[in-house]
């Protein structure tokens, strides 16, 4: 077997396309803190096809995944920067399928993703021994050394939300919204989101008015039951209760209430269903102007009852309120009217929206803007508790993103950037968006990775729906969590030393000070820097 099979260990930042050569430099050791997840890759290079066994011997907890390739017909928009790498055949490594026991090794490169999890009992040096056996019981073995440092990651009060689309789950699995199966699958997907850093969930008080074609509807996922009797509104929050309890069981701390006005300008109300004098029907939607007397009256009544509910359940400090998503300057007037109303109705609450023109903040139309990472320099040092986000439009200036054709370093570097600039939260719109653009039709995310050729692959989801109602992970899910862990490790080091020490480490041997657009495009820099952070933590432990 040794003549036919070779075994290589690579870091989690390597991304091998089908025609790539395997790097010569082996990844032989790394360190981690005691409540951390860290990954590396195993490449089995074979000149034959065979069934074998994959054996890992270590005291650490671990999971093994097969790295699978996903097709991209639209990897990147033409007008983008030059820091992308495209696959010759259009396939990109992304999907992670859990592996247990017997494996099928194909001729050529076979890539496996290994994730190890540390706890207090693993402090010190830990060996990981990886063995691949063929049918003849011949084997090949490699070892990697893992040091667990006696310190915990510190995520502080950072808030991370990746918009959770339960209507996509209902559509993909062909299940009824609010059925037992709906709740089971929703909890499975939410549990994984929380395990990889998401501590805030988009909560559909009403069906979120996001990425919806004008005049059309997304499936109803409204958590608040509305009743209209003799012209008077009443509300039932039982489904919302269930949602919050389930979310907290998964590890969610914050609740981001769905937008009260339509996306891109706040011109209309979201779709709102109600039982009106015994008949269940839509009472607001695209035919309801945002400024209408009827909708304004509804919001005034509803806001009073929602605030009573939130404050009774001690949720006020854990609630985020949205007006409308991504308004631009041409929408200043309509957005400002809606925003003024929401600030009045939800005085004392945290009201946040993704928008990137600083005029909205300068004119005090919004108190907590969330600018994209390619426009954030206009907000740095001016806004308290600043967040950032990115989406399909952030494809220039070398800013971080999570596209298939990104180097993984480009996905991970945002952790250092958010630490340096004291960013308090991160938002993304697509944890599991399985529709085409404007939610016109359902896609199969295993076959269509670009929302029907509209969003660059990697933008609209980071998990895949498996047959049993649990999510398959993606490489991008893991690597973005690495970014959050990098930030949390710097927080831990700052507690032991000071921010100046932390910045010295991450800006050591770089040409210019680290910004959201300027950073070394080097895996070695990323890995070495994190090891320096860990080593300095170890040095400063009492």
DSSP H or E segment with residue 283: strand 279-284
Q: DSSP 3-state assignment of 250?
A: helix
Look up residue 267 and give its two tokens: 């011109």
Query: How confident is the model over 232-269, as pLDDT tens digits?
Result: 999 999 999 999 999 999 999 999 999 999 999 999 99
Cβ–Cβ < 8 Å for 285, 271? yes
Query: How confident is the model over 488-533, as pLDDT tens digits?
Result: 999 999 999 999 999 999 999 898 999 999 999 999 999 999 999 9
Mean pLDDT of 151-178: 98
pLDDT of residue 1: 46
Q: Which residue has the higher pLDDT, 25 or 442?
A: 442
Mean pLDDT of 402-413: 98
pLDDT of residue 452: 97
DSSP 86-99: --SSSEEEEEEEE-
Query: How confident is the model over 183-234, as pLDDT tens digits?
Result: 999 999 999 999 999 999 999 999 999 999 999 999 999 999 999 999 999 9
Cβ–Cβ < 8 Å for 523, 409? yes
Q: What CA–CA distances, in Å, run from 305 to 151, 233, 261, 277?
A: 44, 10, 18, 20
Mean pLDDT of 318-326: 98
Mean pLDDT of 7-18: 96
- Please state, in angstroms and rounded to a whole number, the distance separating the CA atoms of residues 518 and 377: 12
Query: What pTM was computed for the model?
Result: 0.97
Bridge partners for 388 per DSSP: 426
Tokens 């001729």, located at residue: 107
Cβ–Cβ < 8 Å for 369, 404? no
Look up residue 78 and give its two tokens: 């033409």
Mean pLDDT of 159-173: 98
Cβ–Cβ < 8 Å for 86, 77? no
Report residue 101's pLDDT band, with 50, 70 and 90 as the boundaries. Answer: confident
Positions of E strands within 333-477: 350-354, 368-370, 387-389, 425-428, 463-465, 471-474
Q: Look over the chain and give the mean of its residue pLDDT values, rounded to a whole number.
A: 96
Q: DSSP 3-state assignment of 481?
A: helix
Cβ–Cβ < 8 Å for 2, 138? yes
Helices 166-173, 180-195: inter-axial angle, 10-degree rounding: 130
Q: Length of the chain, please?
A: 542
Fold exhibited by the domain 5-151: Immunoglobulin-like (2.60.40)
- Please state, in angstroms and rounded to a whole number, the distance separating the CA atoms of residues 379 and 361: 9
Phi, psi of 427, deg, nearest 5: -125, 140
- Please state, in angstroms and rounded to a whole number, the distance separating the CA atoms of residues 541 and 400: 32
Cβ–Cβ < 8 Å for 122, 148? yes
pLDDT of residue 3: 61
Strands of 61-71's sheet in order across: 5-11, 37-46, 108-117, 61-71, 91-98, 471-474, 463-465
In this structure, is the dihedral angle defined by the CA atoms of residues 313, 317, 319 and 322, taken in order, positive or negative?
positive
Report residue 134's pLDDT band, with 50, 70 and 90 as the boundaries. Answer: confident
289 DSSP assignment: B
Domain ranges of the chain: 5-151
* pLDDT at residue 318 is higher than 90: yes
Query: How confident is the model over 275-317, as pLDDT tens digits?
Result: 999 999 999 999 999 999 999 999 999 999 999 999 999 999 9
């Amino acid at each position: 077997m040794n003549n036919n099979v070779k075994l290589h260990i690579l870091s989690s930042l390597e991304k091998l396309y089908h025609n790539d050569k395997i790097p010569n430099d082996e990844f032989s050791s790394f360190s981690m803190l005691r409540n951390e997840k860290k990954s590396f890759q195993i490449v089995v290079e074979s000149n034959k096809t065979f069934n074998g066994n994959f054996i890992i011997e270590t005291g650490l907890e671990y999971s093994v995944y097969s790295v699978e390739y996903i097709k991209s017909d639209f990897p990147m928009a033409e007008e983008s920067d030059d820091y992308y790498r495209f696959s010759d055949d259009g396939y990109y490594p992304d999907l992670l399928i859990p592996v247990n026991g017997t494996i099928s090794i194909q001729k050529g490169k076979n890539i496996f993703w290994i994730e190890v999890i540390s706890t207090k009992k693993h402090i010190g040096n830990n060996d990981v021994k990886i063995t691949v056996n063929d049918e003849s019981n011949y084997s090949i073995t490699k070892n990697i050394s893992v040091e667990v440092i006696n310190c915990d990651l510190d995520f502080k009060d950072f808030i991370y939300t990746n918009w959770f689309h339960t209507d996509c789950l209902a559509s993909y699995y062909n299940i009824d919204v609010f059925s037992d199966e709906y709740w089971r699958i929703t909890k499975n997907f939410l549990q994984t989101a929380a395990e990889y850093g998401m501590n805030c969930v988009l909560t559909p008080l009403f069906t979120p008015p996001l990425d919806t074609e004008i005049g059309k509807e997304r499936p109803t996922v409204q958590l608040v039951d509305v009743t209209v009797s003799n012209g008077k509104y009443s509300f039932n929050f039982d489904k919302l209760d269930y949602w919050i309890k389930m979310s907290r069981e998964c590890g969610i701390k914050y609740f981001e209430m769905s937008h009260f006005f339509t996306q891109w300008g706040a011109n209309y109300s979201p779709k709102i269903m109600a039982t009106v004098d015994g008949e269940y029907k839509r009472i607001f939607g695209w035919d309801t102007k945002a400024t209408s007397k009827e909708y304004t009256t509804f919001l005034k009544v509803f806001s009073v009852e929602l605030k009573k509910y939130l404050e009774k359940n001690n949720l006020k400090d854990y609630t985020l309120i949205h007006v409308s998503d991504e308004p631009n300057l041409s929408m200043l007037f309509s957005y400002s009217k809606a925003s003024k109303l929401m600030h009045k109705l939800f005085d004392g609450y945290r009201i946040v929206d993704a928008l990137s023109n600083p005029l909205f903040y300068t004119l005090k139309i919004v108190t907590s803007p969330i600018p994209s990472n390619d426009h954030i320099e206009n907000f740095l040092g001016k806004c308290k508790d600043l967040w950032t986000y990115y989406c399909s439009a952030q494809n220039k200036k070398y800013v971080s993103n999570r596209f298939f054709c990104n180097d993984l370093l480009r996905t991970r570097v945002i952790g250092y950037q958010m630490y340096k600039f004291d960013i308090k939260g991160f938002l993304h719109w697509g944890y599991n968006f399985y529709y085409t653009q404007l939610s016109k039709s359902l896609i199969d995310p295993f076959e269509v990775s670009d929302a029907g050729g509209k969003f660059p692959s990697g933008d609209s989801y980071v998990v895949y729906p498996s047959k049993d109602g649990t999510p398959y992970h993606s490489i991008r899910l893991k690597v973005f969590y690495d970014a959050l862990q990098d930030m949390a490790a710097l927080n831990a080091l700052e507690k032991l030393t000071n921010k100046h020490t932390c910045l010295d480490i991450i800006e050591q041997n770089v040409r210019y000070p680290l910004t959201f657009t300027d950073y070394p495009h080097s895996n070695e820099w990323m890995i070495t820097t994190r090891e320096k952070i860990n080593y300095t933590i170890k040095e400063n432990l009492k």
